Chains A and B, each alone.
Chain A
Amino acid sequence: MNCIDYRRLITSDPSHVGAEGLRHRLACSSCASFAVEMQQFDTKLRQAMMIEPPRDLESRVMLAASGRSTTRRRWLAVAATLVLAVGGVVTVLNSYSLEQLPDHVIKHLYHEANLLVPVSTELVPAPRLRQVLKRTGVELSEDVDEVIHAGVCYFRGHLVPHLVVLSADGPVTVMLLPDEKVDETMPIDEDGFHGVIVPVKGGSIAIIGSGNYPEQIERQFVQAVEWQT
């Protein structure tokens, strides 16, 4: 194999040059350098090709699998009416017990582990926050401070807002759960996470951090949250 053949081969298929190609590489330092360059180029190619899916795509797929939606084009319409429909319909929720709620919250935190160490402390603009909440049938009667992430997650058969709020002790997760009716405050104290699930107007809010309990954040959300169901 000569240099031209080798370079053509490695440009086509850098990972499979075969025994003959390998022998040429060992004998030719110039082609060995070329091979390293091609492998570095392929590493960058893979990096460039990997595009993170939208954060809510997984939730949408799970929702669709539960039989309530089909495609993205229908998604917005379905999402807007879903919460209204849920009140009168027997849903997957029935298969989840209330006792498991704290465990499921912790499990969800691990599932969204990247949010526990936010890469940015940039605040979510108020219109974006309102938009996210509206999609799940939630409103805030007054502004809340320091929200650095607002997304929609599939949780126990429902789409719910998952927020991250910055506190003096680090990020605090706030999950607004209009469909989880709890009779009294449920403490969460597991794996270094401290928080509560508090009953609010027929639904509940889960507030969890890893530092001191963020009472101020609880007060803000308990006062401001309004369910639109």
Chain B
Amino acid sequence: MPKHFQFEALVRSVLPELHSYALWLSRDPHLAEDLVQESLLRAWRSLHTLREAGAAKSWLMMIIRREHARYYERQRPVPMDIQAVDFPEALLTHRDEDPEIAELRRAIFELAQDYREPLVLQVLLGYSTKEIAEIMDVSQGAVLTRLFRARKQLQKKLATEDEIAQK
């Protein structure tokens, strides 16, 4: 298969999940697009070394993660107050979507990075807690604790939203 078509197939197979990961990592739609584009360009340059889309996805995820970290290193000092970042309305583009999903999306957006990232790696990209521990360079126990707290916070937030809606 010509390199161009091979790359097109790869892009199509990984783009939705990679873009979502970059978005939840950065919480900035524009930065997320740059991160995805940059990582896919690296894939283009090294296409001959890639054998399957599954392996490419992990590799690209790591590039996105590194580039994202570098971006914030260059931006220092930046206060990382999670409340200071406005929820981008671009995340609510599905017209006919369940309102609960929209609330959940807002709640994920407001999770602290330490809780949000392992949850996205687990739920969206399907990594095991052991793999997440390696990616994030923390213990597996710490990952389990963060995942537990992340889900609890989301459930609590949704329950509170429900109570407000019922009043």
Contacts and interface: CB of A to CB of B under 8 A. Distances in A.
Interface of A: 8-9, 11-13, 16, 38, 41-42, 44-54, 57-58, 60-62, 64-65, 70-73, 119-120
Interface stretch (B48-56, B74-82, B150-158): B150-158
B100 A58 contact: no
B128 A46 contact: no
A9 B95 CA distance: 35
Nearest to A120: B95
Q: Which 7 A-B pairs have the closest CB atoms?
A: A53-B19, A48-B104, A65-B44, A12-B144, A12-B148, A12-B147, A49-B124
Interface of B: 4, 7-8, 11-12, 15-17, 19-20, 23-24, 30, 33-34, 36-38, 40-41, 44, 91, 93-96, 98, 100-102, 104-105, 108, 119-120, 122-124, 128-129, 144-145, 147-148, 151-152, 154-155
A61 B37 contact: yes
A11 B104 contact: no
B151 A72 contact: no
Contact of B33 (A9, A13, A52, A54): A54
A51 B8 contact: no
A41 B155 contact: yes
Nearest to A42: B123
9 contacts: A12-B129, A45-B119, A47-B101, A51-B23, A53-B16, A57-B19, A62-B7, A64-B37, A65-B41
A43 to B, nearest CB: 9
B129 A50 contact: no
Contacts of B154: 45
Contacts of B148: 8, 11-12
Given A45-B119, A50-B124, A72 B41 contact: no
Given A11-B148, A48-B105, A61 B119 contact: no
Given A50-B124, A64-B41, 7 more contacts: A42-B123, A44-B98, A44-B100, A45-B154, A46-B123, A58-B12, A70-B41
A141 to B, nearest CB: 32
B34 A52 contact: no
A62 B41 contact: no
- By secondary structure, the B interface counts as helix
Nearest to A9: B144
Residue of A9, A48, A52, A58 contacting most chain B CB atoms (<10 Å): A48
A160 B58 CA distance: 32
A49 B36 contact: no
Residue of A41, A70, A72, A120 contacting most chain B CB atoms (<10 Å): A72
B119 A60 contact: no
A38 B145 CA distance: 16
Contact of A51 (B20, B95, B96, B144): B20
A61 B30 CA distance: 14
B105 to A, nearest CB: 5
B16 A50 contact: yes
Nearest to A57: B33
A48 B30 CA distance: 19
A64 B44 CA distance: 10
Given A12-B144, A51-B23, A57 B36 contact: yes
B142 to A, nearest CB: 11
A65 B24 CA distance: 25
A61 B105 contact: no
Contacts of A53: 15-16, 19, 33, 36
Contacts of B144: 9, 12-13
B158 to A, nearest CB: 9
Contacts of A41: 151, 155
